[in-house]
């Protein structure tokens, strides 16, 4: 049975699967500020919907308070708000400002997003070399999307010298975490023999993993490999 509850701090209303008269409920933003992140995450996973129309504005203000106090997660969240124009006017420059604050504290998601900002030239002058630097920092922390993008950069020689072996290394790390595009690209590497010995059977294995996640090109390549085996 679901119960409608209110955040004890900001008043945002949402649904959870259990209720207690003695429970102190908190939304994610307020939880981050008040040091009850573990409780917040459990409640958030259970939440079905937020019903207050102004919840984005409320969350933004509370995240902003935490961000100004140096909380890396909150700084990242504020960056996302500005990046996506979520609850505030879209502002790529401010997004980069907050991503940078969080990234410099080692927050992997912010490092990846900051890499994207430099890669695309959004909110900052386009600089693929700096993009690679931030992708690398996030990738080394196990961020799958950053590992994939780093693989692409080495594969295509974007912001760094072309290096098929390093491209394979990073594709493999992301692919092993279930990143479909990395699995597809890894399949291509084995199919073409780029950076690794040509191996249709191994290519088919990675195409199959990507195809199972709905990657259409991988599905087509898998059929081609099957006909060759």
- Residue 12 has what pLDDT? 55
For residue 65, being part of any structural domain is answered with yes
Query: Quick one: 146 and 63 in the same domain?
Result: no
Tokens encoding 211: 């195809």
Domain boundary among 39, 69, 99: 69
Q: What are 180-190's pLDDT values in tens digits?
A: 999 999 999 99
> How many domains are there within the chain?
2
Distance CA 51, CA 137 (A): 38
Distance CA 158, CA 60 (A): 35
Distance CA 190, CA 161 (A): 21
Which domain covers residue 48, as residue numbers?
1-69
Q: What are 99-114's pLDDT values in tens digits?
A: 999 999 999 999 999 9
Domain boundary among 13, 39, 69: 69
Q: What are 193-227's pLDDT values in tens digits?
A: 999 999 999 999 999 999 999 999 999 999 999 88
- Residue 187 has what pLDDT? 96
Tokens encoding 222: 């898998």
Going by the DSSP 8-state scheme, the letter that residue 216 receives in this structure is H
Q: Give this prediction's pTM.
A: 0.78
For residue 90, being part of any structural domain is answered with no
For residue 213, being part of any structural domain is answered with yes
Distance CA 229, CA 227 (A): 6
> Which is nearest to 33 in space by CA: 3, 5, 58, 1?
58
Query: Quick one: 147 and 229 in the same domain?
Result: yes
Query: Is 38's pLDDT higher than 70?
Result: no
For residue 76, being part of any structural domain is answered with no
Burial of 89 (0-12, 13-18, 19+ CB in 10 A): exposed
Query: Is 19's pLDDT higher than 90?
Result: no
CATH number at residue 158: 1.25.40.10
Residue predicted with more confidence, 89 or 63? 89
Domain boundary among 17, 34, 69: 69
Query: Is 48's pLDDT higher than 60?
Result: no
For residue 116, being part of any structural domain is answered with no
- Residue 21 has what pLDDT? 52
For residue 85, being part of any structural domain is answered with no
For residue 99, being part of any structural domain is answered with no
Q: How far apart are the first and last CA of the chain?
A: 53
Q: What are 145-186's pLDDT values in tens digits?
A: 999 999 999 999 999 999 999 999 999 999 999 999 999 999
Going by the DSSP 8-state scheme, the letter that residue 8 receives in this structure is T
b/e map 182-216, b = 16+ CB within 10 Å: bbbbbbbbbbeeebbeeebebbbbbbbbbbeeebe
For residue 126, being part of any structural domain is answered with no
Overall average pLDDT of the 45-49 stretch: 35
What percent of the chain shows pLDDT beyond 90? Answer: 68
How far is C-alpha 33 from the geometric centre of its chain's CA atoms? 22
Range list of H helices, 47-157:
55-68, 72-84, 92-103, 108-120, 128-139, 144-156
């Amino acid at each position: 049975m679901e119960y409608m509850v209110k955040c004890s701090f900001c008043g945002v209303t949402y649904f959870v699967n259990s209720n207690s008269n003695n429970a102190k409920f908190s939304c994610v933003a307020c939880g981050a500020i008040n040091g009850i992140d573990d409780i917040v995450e459990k409640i958030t996973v259970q939440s079905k919907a937020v019903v207050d129309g102004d919840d984005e504005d409320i969350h933004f203000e509370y995240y902003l308070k935490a961000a100004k106090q140096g909380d890396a997660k909150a700084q990242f969240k504020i960056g996302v708000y500005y990046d996506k124009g979520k609850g505030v006017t879209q502002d790529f420059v401010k997004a980069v400002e907050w991503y940078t604050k969080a990234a410099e504290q080692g927050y992997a998601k912010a490092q990846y997003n900051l890499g994207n900002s430099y890669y695309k030239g959004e909110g900052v002058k386009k600089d693929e070399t700096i993009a690679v630097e931030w992708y690398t920092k996030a990738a080394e922390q196990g961020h799958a999307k950053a590992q994939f993008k780093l693989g692409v950069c080495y594969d295509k020689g974007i912001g760094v010298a072309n290096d098929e072996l390093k491209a394979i290394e990073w594709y493999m790390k992301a692919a092993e975490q279930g990143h479909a595009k990395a699995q597809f690209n890894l399949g291509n590497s084995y199919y073409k023999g780029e950076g690794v010995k040509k191996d249709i059977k191994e290519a088919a294995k990675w195409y199959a993993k990507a195809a199972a996640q709905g990657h259409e090109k991988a599905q087509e390549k898998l059929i081609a490999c099957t006909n060759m085996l």
